[in-house]
Amino acid sequence: MVWRSGSVRLCFPDSSLACTFKWYTVLKTFKEKKNAAAPLSFTLVANGQTTYLNTGSLVGAYGTIPTFYVDNGQVKFGALEPAYKEFLTTMRKWYAEGLIDKNIATLDAKALDANLTGGATGATFGNAGGGLGRWLPLMKEKDAKADLVAAPYPVLKKGDKPKFGQKDFAYSSPASVAISAKSKEAELAVKLLDYGYGEEGHMFFNFGTEGVSYKLENGYPKFTDLIMKNPDKLAPAQTISLYARSNYNGPFVQDKRYIEQYNQLQQQKDAIAIWQTDVEKYALPPITPTQQESAEYATIMNDVNTLVAEMTLKIILGTEPVDSFDKYVAKLKSLKIDRAIDIQKAALERYNKR
């Protein structure tokens, strides 16, 4: 989570009580004192799923997230929990009072950029690279005194440590690759995948092309100005992706030397320390359902994720009453969310027995 800083600031880096009440007070201040048309603006839904809510932004203060997590060894689906209803009730109130971007249902990256650089938005959700690293330079182009600072994940009770946050495991399952048994070029595919783990492939995947996107300085691969001071004013998060894969993922080992340069701003470095949570205790590890379970699970979750995203948006916008939450939970049950939970439980049990 990041906040645009002017004379108003939610909390300082050593604060541990960024509760929703303080958020409410600051958003009201942005609206009433700073004339911010969209005090809190972020992309709520993308690709049919809730976005930043899944990693605990705001909703984590209520002790849940709208996806799977582990609590005392039990697998839970947070969008079923009464706590999620509490969160939606708060968000509905904020939206009704004009504290949340009225265009949240259709907001895209371009519109969000305009909100931040134009002073319409005081707070948003984002990461250190593609968020702080991209927005802050854009803001400073218009106002040299502009600043963005990180805010801790919120909690409702002073002294509590946030449960959720964004943190990848050493092995990131979305980066997995498989070769079909029907492939006519299986050997070539293996060679391509193997390339990423050799010295040449490691450097290429992490830093791009020597002499273009990086140069070796005393053996250290240093990104060139094409990446770090792009003539088209693209942020490093954007330029790296044009030449390398290190700021995303894939079948290769990320090199820590890329991240040492990626987070070049002090605000980015500060954010890493501020965004500390207990996510390791609650995040599902990289579990693996069986082939049969995977097909069944995918079918169930396709419908479930669609419903969660739709109802989350409708309740916040006020097109559905908060009281419809109980009917929504019943609908999730009819879509076999309990079976999906059972599949996740079985996969977790197998994982723990390894």
Q: What is the DSSP secondary-structure string of 68-135? A: EEEETTEEEEGGGSHHHHHHHHHHHHHHHTT-B-TTTTT--HHHHHHHHHHTS-SEE---IIIIIHHH
Reported as a single tens digit per residue, the pLDDT across 271-314 is: 888 999 999 999 999 898 999 999 999 999 999 999 999 999 99
Model-level pTM?
0.81
Residue 264 confidence (pLDDT):
79
Q: How far apart are alpha carbons 240 and 238 in whole angstroms? A: 6
Pairing mode, strands 45-46 and 49-50: antiparallel
pLDDT band at 266 (very low <50, low <70, confident <90, very high): confident
Q: What is the token pair recorded at 40?
A: 């809190």
The domains located in the chain, with CATH, are: 2-166+281-353 (3.40.190.10), 174-264 (3.40.190.10)
Q: Are 40 and 121 in contact (CB under 8 A)?
A: yes
> Can you give the pLDDT at residue 17?
35
User: Which of 247, 294, 249, 320 has its CA nearest to residue 85?
Assistant: 320
Percent of the chain with pLDDT over 90: 70
pLDDT category at 129 given cuts 50, 70, 90 is confident
Question: What is the band of 21 on the pLDDT scale with cuts at 50, 70, 90?
Answer: low
Q: For 68-75, what is the mean pLDDT? A: 95
Distance CA(305)–CA(319), nearest Å, equals 19
The total of other beta-carbon atoms located within 10 Å of residue 58's CB is 22
More confident residue, 298 or 133: 298
Q: What is the mean pLDDT of residues 137-146?
A: 88
Q: What percent of the chain has pLDDT over 70?
A: 93
Digit-coded pLDDT (tens) for 194-214: 999 999 999 999 999 999 999
More confident site: 347 or 21:
347
CA angle, 150 as apex, 145 and 152 as ends, to 5°?
Answer: 150
